[in-house]
Structure formats: C-alpha cells, structure tokens
Amino acid sequence: MTVVPEAKTLRRTPLHALHCERGARMTAFAGYEMPIQYPLGVLKEHLHTREAAGLFDVSHMGQITLRPAAGELSALASALERLVPVDVLGLAPGRERYALFTNAQGGIIDDLIIGHRNDHFLLIVNASRTEVDWKHLRTNLAQVCRLENNADRALLAVQGPAAQSVLTRLAAPVAGLRFMDVGEFELARIPCVVSRSGYTGEDGFEISVPAERAEKLARALLQHPEIALVGLGARDSLRTEAGLCLYGADIDEASTPVEAGLEWAIQKVRRPGGGRAGNFLGADRILDELDCGPRRRRVGLRPQGRVPVRNGALLFASHSDRDPIGVVTSGLYGPTVGAPVAMGYVAPAHALPGSQLVAEVRSQRVLVEVTTLPFVAHRYRR
C-alpha cells in the first residue's frame, strides 16, 4: 500500500485519541490521519488477525443512506440498478451485496457494499471516493431518493476466527448472522448496525456505531484478550493475501469489472439473456467483455525468491523482451504465505495459471508465476 503525504488538513476519526494512547504510528490516508501500525508491528498484527481477531478503525469509509423520496423501495432499487451491474431488486431485507459504480465507458468509479435495511439502502463506499460517489448519486438519483451522508457514525471491523466468540459475549444473537447478513444489535449497550463481512478474507464483522460512542465500544472490545488493534499496514497485507482489490491500485475508472476479475459480482439477471440485462452505465462494453473476453486480466503473481514485487513494476514475457505485457498493481510480503505475493494486469495470452513471466524490480528482472487468487483461502461463514 502506497501512502501519499497530503498537504491539506487531515480529518480524524472518533478513535484518534485511542490510537495515540495505544502508541499508533499515524499517517495520511484518503484525507484522514490513520494508524498504519501499533507497537505490535505490521507482521504480528497480520498474524494475530489470522489466528485470533483484529480490531480495525475503518471510520474513514463513507456511509451513505438512500431513502425513497416517494413510493416503494423497489422503485429506488430499479433506479440504483442503472448505476451498478448487480441485482439490487433481488436483494432481500437484511442482506448486503458487493457492487460497483461504473461509468459510461465501463470503468469502475468505486466498489461498494449495498445493504438492504428494510426501508432504506445503506451504502459503504471507499474513503477516497466518498465525495465522487456522493456527487454521482445526487446527479443520478436525486429525483427518486433522499441522500444522507452519515458523518455522525463511525465504522469498526472485527476480523478473524475469534471474532464471533468475542461479539457474542456482547450480543449473543450476532452468531445467527451469515456472510453478508446485516442487522441491528446492541453491543456494550450501544445500538449498532452489524454486518458479517470484511476486507481480510477472514470471518468477521463490520460495525456501524454512533461516532460519539465508538471509543466506548472499541474499549469494550479490547477488554477481550483475543482482540488486538490492527492498522492500515496489516489491513493491506491481509486483503492482498485474500486477493481483494484496493481502489486506486487494482481497480479504477480505467479498469472494467471483467478485466478486474470481478464478473462474479454481476448476477445472471443482469447479464445477456437475463431478465434485466444491461441498462447500466458502461453496459455495452462490460457485456461484450463477458461474451468475448477483455483486453487484459487481473491475476495473482508469485515472485521467486524473497524480494517483494511492488505496485508499478512492469511485467515482461521473458528476460529479453523490451515491451511490457502487464503491470503489478499490488505487491508485498505475505506473512501468512511466508513469501512475496502480488497482483497485476496482463494480456489474456499470459493470464493462465502457471505462466512464467518476468517483473522488473530496481532495474533487475525477477521471475514471477501467474497463479489463481486468493493466496489464502477465504474463511467466510456462509
């Protein structure tokens, strides 16, 4: 993960004082001052999440509520389907769905989570894209819904095999949630919206909590020995091992869902031959790529040796080739894998697992092998 210094005044999450108290090293990220690591260190934070449970402050993420201006929620769902290539009308109350805002060229404006909250939709969007998404929604949906920017709420994530054990001590009914379920629960006597989801590949939960009560909830969670605070550094290595995309690195407005290997998020009803096929921004290109294939594909990469191949490294078909056939978009040392891992885009002819490529690292060329994703199996509770 590349952290770019930002000159403007940084915002702080409701847990800022707690981060400082716990010795976090802070950095600028998406307009916020965020913890990149704690004294435990990135590697141990990563492994603790895989073995027990990590507590992440993800309050920089945007939380946007969409309420129908008039009529039924189904009318809003139909309108929202013009902005995403996924089945919103078929999303049941109490369920979430991974989605993508696409532009007219088929590129990805943002990836997000849509939650059906009975009488409204709750969208969780990327911190770096919140303002862009807000304008996009206002431009396209202002006539059919009321938008609420939930700046008065924080967002915490508890991830790892011990996550359920910890949360059920605060609210036993959360054990009944399946992956991508969402509901209201009281944790530490605080009303929260809890979903069984996350960004690590592990079982876990994301908790939307009133901002003024977020620190109280975080301290209640930290009373349990299974829980350790985890910063952005380990969050990045966890999601990379899980093969999950980072907006601005692995996906952006120049990449399509099919190029990014995210076509699994496009349900049959929105595909050619489906009952509501197309009718979303960029549909012509995306549906054509579903039928004919894209010009490039996101793949997993396993570098030989111990040196990580970072984002931006060019990929070549052989040591002697001068014309690149792809580029690395995410790359680091995978603590669980015990070796470097990376993701990137390559031409379709080089995208088959087992293909041998070469990456350029500090003017040196390193062998890499194309592999399937994820590097570490997901452990979601289906």
- Tens of pLDDT, residue by residue over 76-87, are 999 999 999 999
The pLDDT of residue 225 is above 60? yes
Strands 204-210 and 153-159: antiparallel
Give the burial string for 221-244 (b: 16+ CB within 10 Å, else e): beebebbbbbbbbbbbbbbbbbbb
Total residues found in the chain within this entry? 382
pLDDT in tens, 123-146: 999 999 999 999 999 999 999 999
pTM of the model: 0.96
CATH of 11-61+152-241 given 3.40.50.300, 3.20.20.240, 3.30.1360.120, 1.10.287.1080: 3.30.1360.120
Residue 356 pLDDT > 80, yes or no?
Answer: yes
Look over the chain and give the mean of its residue pLDDT values, rounded to a whole number. 96
Q: Is 214 exposed, middle or buried (0-12, 13-18, 19+ CB in 10 A)?
A: buried
Residues 6+ apart with CB under 8 A from 226: 52, 53, 160, 162, 165, 166
> Which element (helix H / strand E) includes 42?
helix 42-51
What is d(CA 170, CA 167) in angstroms, rounded to the nearest whole number? 5
Architecture of domain 295-382: Beta Barrel (2.40)
Residue type, 260: A
Work out the average pLDDT over 278-298. Answer: 98
Residue 12: strand pairing partners: 33
The reported pLDDT for the residue numbered 363 is 84
d(CA 200, CA 244) in angstroms, rounded, equals 8
Residue ranges per domain, the chain? Answer: 11-61+152-241, 295-382
Q: Residue 70's pLDDT is what?
A: 84
Query: Is 59 buried (19+), middle (13-18) or exposed (0-12) by CB count in 10 A?
Result: buried
Confidence tier at 312 by pLDDT (50, 70, 90): very high
What is the residue-wise DSSP string for 240-256? Answer: HHTT---BTTTB-TTS-
For residues 301 and 369, is the Cβ–Cβ distance under 8 A? Answer: yes
Helices within 174-315 (DSSP H only)? 214-222, 232-241, 283-292
Contact assessment for residue 326 and residue 309, using Cβ atoms and an 8 Å cutoff: no
Alpha carbons 61 and 155: distance in angstroms, whole number? 7
Give the Å distances, CA to CA, from 263 to 14, 252, 271.
36, 15, 10
pLDDT tens for each residue of 12-38: 999 999 999 999 999 999 999 999 999
Contact 156, 56 (CB under 8 A): yes
Residue 133 CA to residue 143 CA, distance in Å, equals: 16
The answer for 106, left when phi > 0, alpha when psi is -120 to 50, beta otherwise, is left
pLDDT score recorded for residue 5:
46
| Confidence check: pLDDT of 3 > 90 | no
Which tokens hold the place of 337?
A: 């894998």
pLDDT of 4 strictly over 90? no
C-beta neighbour count of 364 within 10 angstroms: 9
Token pair of 119 as six digits: 């009488």
Percent of the chain with pLDDT strictly greater than 70: 98
Task: Give the angle subtended at the CA of 180 by the CAs of 151 and 70, to the nearest 5°.
Answer: 55
Q: How many CA atoms lie within 13 A of 251 on its CB side?
A: 26
Q: How confident is the model at residue 7 (pLDDT cuts 50, 70, 90)?
A: very low
Distance (Å, rounded) from C-alpha 119 to C-alpha 15? 30
